[in-house]
Structure 1
Amino acid sequence: MSARFEVLDWCETAMGVISLRRRIEPTLNVEVYEVKLGDEFLMSSLFTVAEVALARLGLAQAVDADLDVVVGGLGLGYTAQTALEDPRIHSLVVVEALEEVIGWHRRALLPDTAGLVSDPRVRLRRGDFFAMADSTAGFDPEAPGRRFHAILLDIDHTPRHVLHPSHSAFYTPAGLGKLVAHLHPGGVFAMWSDDPPDPDFEAVLAQVFDRSEASVVRFANPLTGGHSTNTIYVAS
């Protein structure tokens, strides 16, 4: 196989075939790590600005001196890694639905975020983030009902474009209302979206949280020669 392209891992999952690929991006001559689910591209190490912004914008609204944080969706690990740069982080629970994705990190297939698995503050948990949010037990099986200071979510493409139909109920007043039960008073919920700010979803956030805002994150796109944008929602 050419060194310019390599499938590092692939497997069948309940949501389809997921694969981790490494390739050389010819326009920049850099290594790129990409995740595909079926024919859909989920994430790329070429575009991490918004994943980093999710952690920074979300934690900027957290007011406590010591933070217990949940990250929903491990992926390539950039949101979790950025969260750990905040000196207030006491613990970080990362919830990932696919054991295969957790395995990529444990097997050190992703050099940019290789330190995640060895950080004593981090616990990688296999589980359905949306089912956990809907439950009374919450996100830490070892401490049912535990509350957190911030929950950072990057799983679905957008509140309208979800990876599985069962996720849709989360993006409603009832679904987000259950999430609030897993936050400390004054806690923060932040979420990544691939679309521009959605007024309907902003209205849902306003029903559940005391304050919320949508920030557009703009970044260079070397594949198009222009720029792309994502949205980060932050509510508290």
Structure 2
Amino acid sequence: MSTALPERDGRAVVVTLDRREGPFGEVVLRQRGPHFEIIANGCFLMDTADGRSERLLIQAALDELDRTGTTVERPSVLIGGLGVGFSLAYAVAEPRWGRIAIVERETAIIDWHRTGPLGAFSGGALEDERVAVLHTDLLEYLAAADGERYHALCLDIDNGPDWTVTDSNAGLYGADGLAVLWHRLQPGGVLAMWSAQPSPDFEEALRAAGFSDVVTHEIPVARGVPDVVHLARRPG
């Protein structure tokens, strides 16, 4: 990892720990006081200050499977985006999950978990026998014609439907992208998507795509609009 001289942002000391150029642009790992943050193409993506919404992404999907009476003993889950590792660690801590696939396209982020400081937040989850690390672009993986179907899709790859850091991710939230997600779910399967803000338009898009039981869980944040998890189900 590269290092840089610290700078101050208010009272917090900010240190750039690693900076890499990849096929999708620049990704940066910074430490701000006791917390770590990921910056993608100059835009803040996520940090380790508060993992409530990332954990809710997983828990809400499992609760919905329970609510609808799935008969699968150990459902499979696909997590889109490794990020700072909160979602994956939370899934691995739940023995009811079976196969846990994690899709991450950025080599740097995988490295920061395997050999860097983010490993403290994923807690060795990458080594769990149920976990398969899929080092690829999520949209390309989902679009594969012979792709695996999952009982839950838990996606946290950008800021949400109304503002994406990576332009290509916008297609995931439109009609074509939602059709792909529909086909990647088992009948009765659950879709959970994180967003940096509520989006009534996206709720309507989910219903128009044929999803049922569309709800939005809000997670209050220190400042600004709440984070949310959009939840929907493919009818059985």
What's the TM-score once normalised by structure 1's chain length?
0.85
Aligned partners of 2:204, 2:45: CA distance in 1, in Å? 27
Aligned partners of 1:211, 1:5: CA distance in 2, in Å? 43
Name the residue aligned to 2:201: 200
Q: Secondary structure of 1:41's partner? A: strand
| 1:79 and 2:80 matched | no
The one-letter amino acid of 2:205's match is V
Q: Is the 8 A contact 1:108 1:114 kept in 2?
A: no
Percent of paired sites with the same residue = 30
What are the Cα deviations for residues 152-205 of structure 1, in whole angstroms up to 9, with x where unaligned?
Answer: 000111112122222222212232112111111100110000012x22111111
Q: Structure 1's 23 and 99: CA in aligned 2 closer, same or farther, altered over 3 A? A: same
Aligned partners of 1:39, 1:174: CA distance in 2, in Å? 28
CA shift, 1:14, in A, is: 2.9
Name the residue aligned to 1:109: 117
Name the residue aligned to 1:169: 171
Q: Secondary structure of 2:171's partner? A: helix
Q: 1:213 aligns with which of 212, 215, 218?
A: 215
Name the residue aligned to 1:28: none
CA shift, 1:217, in A, is: 1.2
Equivalent pairs, count: 217
Name the residue aligned to 2:10: none
Q: Structure 1's 23 and 162: CA in aligned 2 closer, same or farther, altered over 3 A? A: closer
Q: 1:183 aligns with which of 174, 182, 185?
A: 185
Aligned partners of 1:132, 1:2: CA distance in 2, in Å? 38
| 1:100 and 2:103 matched | no
| 1:20 and 2:21 matched | no
Q: Structure 1's 118 and 108: CA in aligned 2 closer, same or farther, altered over 3 A? A: farther
The one-letter amino acid of 1:100's match is A
Aligned partners of 1:133, 1:53: CA distance in 2, in Å? 23
Q: Is the 8 A contact 1:59 1:83 kept in 2?
A: no
CA shift, 1:114, in A, is: 2.9
Name the residue aligned to 1:158: 160
Query: Which is strand-richer, 1 or 2?
Result: 1
Q: Secondary structure of 2:76's partner? A: strand
Aligned partners of 2:155, 2:163: CA distance in 1, in Å? 15
What's the TM-score once normalised by structure 2's chain length?
0.85
Aligned partners of 1:167, 1:137: CA distance in 2, in Å? 21
Aligned partners of 1:47, 1:16: CA distance in 2, in Å? 26
Question: Which consecutive unaligned segments of at least 5 residues does structure 1 have?
Answer: 25-30, 139-145
The one-letter amino acid of 1:67's match is P
Q: 2:37 aligns with which of 30, 34, 39?
A: 34
